Amino acid sequence: MSNDKLQQAVLSNDRLEVTDSPRLRLDKNQSFGRTLRKNLFDGWKNIFLTIVTAVFSILVISQVVNFVLSNSWDVVYIHLRLLMIGQYPLEELWRIWFALYYASFMIGATWGLWKGAAKAVGLTFGTVYLIFAVIPWTTLNTSLNLAACITLIAAGFVIGHKIEKIKVAVLILWALYIPLTLGLIMGFGGLIDPVLSRYWGGWLLTVILASVSIVGCFPLGILLALGRRSSLPVVKYFCIGYIELIRGMPLIMVLFIGQLLIPLFLGGSTGMDNVTRAMIAYTFFAAAYLAEDVRGGLQSIPTGQFEAAQALGLNKIKTTFFIILPQALKAVIPAMVGLFITILKDTSLVAIIGLADFLGTARRISNNPEFLGRYLELYIFVAAFYFVFCYLMAYVSRYLERSLSTDNR
C-alpha cells in the first residue's frame, strides 16, 4: 500500500518527469524571451553552443530547402506509378485499389473501435493519400480513388465509433486481409486471371514481401522458440541447429541459396517464381531471429507463473498459450517490431536477385537514359517514404507497449 502511494507521489512530482527536451520546457509564467534566455543563453558556454548550433542548423536547412526548390522533381512524379506498383498491368489496377479500400476501411473501423495507435495509423495513411491526391501530377482517376480511400477511413471510423458490436467481425476481416488481398493481387485459381509476379514491383512488391514474411515468420518463430526450450532432444537440437545455422549466415546468402541453389538442386522444374523463392527465404531467415527474440521473452517469465498455472490445474499446452506466451510476447514487442522494421528495409536486398522492389525501381529509373544521373531526387523520395512507414511501425509498437503494460513486475 505505502509502496503504491510512494509511487504515486514520485509520478506526480513533475521534477522527475521525463520529457524529450527537458531543457526547453516552456513555463507558462515566464515570457518567451525569458524562457529563451534561461534555456539557450545561460552563461557563455551556452551562448557559444547556441550560436554554433544555430549557424550550423541554418546552413543545413538552407541547403536542404535550396536543393528541394532548385530541383525539378519530374523524375519522381513521372515515375510515381512505377515506384508504387512497378509494372502491374493498368487494366488490373482495380485489384490494388480494392486492397487499399479494404485497408482504409479497416483502419478507420479499428480507429473508431479501439482508438489508440490506430488513430496514428489512420491519420498517417490519410495524410499520405491526401498528399498523393492533391499533388498536381496524379491523374484524376487516381485522385478520386485516393479520395475514396480517405472517405472510407472516415466512414470506418464513424461506423466503428457508433457500433461496438462489430469488434469480432473487424478482427476476422483483419485476419483475412492478407490472404484475401494477396489472392486478389496475384489472382486466385481459375476465378480471376492471374497477374504473374514478374509484373509486381515498387512499393507494392516491398509491402507484399515484407508483410508475407512478417506474418509467416511469426508462428514459425514462436514454434522455434518453444521448440528450443523443449525437453525432447530431437526437437530441441533441431530448433537450435536451425536457429544457429540461419543466424550464422548473411541474409544475402540465404537469398542466393533460395534463388540459385534450390533451382539447381531441383533441376529448375520447381515451378516457383523468384518472388515466391524470395518470400520463403525471408520468412525462414526472419523466423530464426524472431525465435531468439521470443526466447528472450520466455526466459524473462518468472517460474512462479509456471507454478501458479500448474497449481490451477492447467496442462502444459494451456499454460504455454494462455499464461506464458502472452506475457512473453508482450515483453518483447520492441524487439519484434525492430525486427519487422528491419525486414521491411531488408526487402531492398532482392535487387541482387533481379527483382525490382521500391529501391530497386528507383535504381532502374535512374538508369533510364532520359533520366541519367537523376538518382538523388529518387533516393530522397524513397528514403522519406521508408521513413514515414518505419516510424509509424515504431510509434505503434511504443503505443502497444504502453497500453499493454500492466506494471506487475
Choose, by CB under 8 A, the member of 35, 50, 71, 87 that binds other proteins.
87
- Of the pair 219, 354, the CB lying nearest other proteins is at 354
Point out which span in 16-24, 33-41, 255-263, 302-310 binds other proteins (CB under 8 A). 255-263
Choose, by CB under 8 A, the member of 101, 256, 385, 399 that binds other proteins.
256
Choose, by CB under 8 A, the member of 373, 384, 406, 409 that binds other proteins.
373
Q: Is 248 in the site for other proteins (CB under 8 A)?
A: yes
Using CB under 8 A, count the residues that bind other proteins.
42
Q: Is 353 in the site for other proteins (CB under 8 A)?
A: yes
Q: Is 351 in the site for other proteins (CB under 8 A)?
A: yes
- Of the pair 263, 338, the CB lying nearest other proteins is at 263
Check if the beta carbon of residue 337 is closer than 8 Å to that of residue 397.
yes
Choose, by CB under 8 A, the member of 48, 237, 321, 322 that binds other proteins.
237
Q: Is 375 in the site for other proteins (CB under 8 A)?
A: yes
Instruction: Find cell 530497386 and name the residue.
Output: 360
- What span, in angstroms and rounded, lies between the C-alpha atoms of 370 and 304? 67
| First CA to last CA distance, the chain | 16
- What span, in angstroms and rounded, lies between the C-alpha atoms of 358 and 345? 10
Q: Is 137 in the site for other proteins (CB under 8 A)?
A: no
- What span, in angstroms and rounded, lies between the C-alpha atoms of 253 and 241? 17
Check if the beta carbon of residue 315 is closer than 8 Å to that of residue 325.
no
- Would you tell me how many other CB atoms lie within 10 Å of the CB of residue 181? 20
**CB of 379 vs other proteins, minimal distance in Å:** 9
- What span, in angstroms and rounded, lies between the C-alpha atoms of 38 and 24? 9
Q: Is 187 in the site for other proteins (CB under 8 A)?
A: no
The full length of the chain comes to: 409
For 22, which DSSP code?
A: S
Q: Is 271 in the site for other proteins (CB under 8 A)?
A: no
**CB of 348 vs other proteins, minimal distance in Å:** 13
- Of the pair 80, 147, the CB lying nearest other proteins is at 80
- Of the pair 113, 353, the CB lying nearest other proteins is at 353
Q: Is 198 in the site for other proteins (CB under 8 A)?
A: yes
The residues in 64-83 that bind other proteins, with binding defined as CB under 8 A, are 78-79, 81-82
Q: What is the full DSSP assignment across 210-279?
A: HHHHHHHHHHHHHHHHHHHT-S-HHHHHHHHHHHHHHHTS-HHHHHHIIIIIHHHHHTT-----HHHHHH
What is the residue type of 15? R
Decide: helix, strand or coil at residue 357: strand
Contacts with other proteins by CB under 8 A lie at 78-79, 81-82, 86-87, 198, 201, 237, 240-241, 244-245, 248-249, 253, 256-257, 259-261, 263-264, 267-268, 351-356, 363-370, 372-373, 375
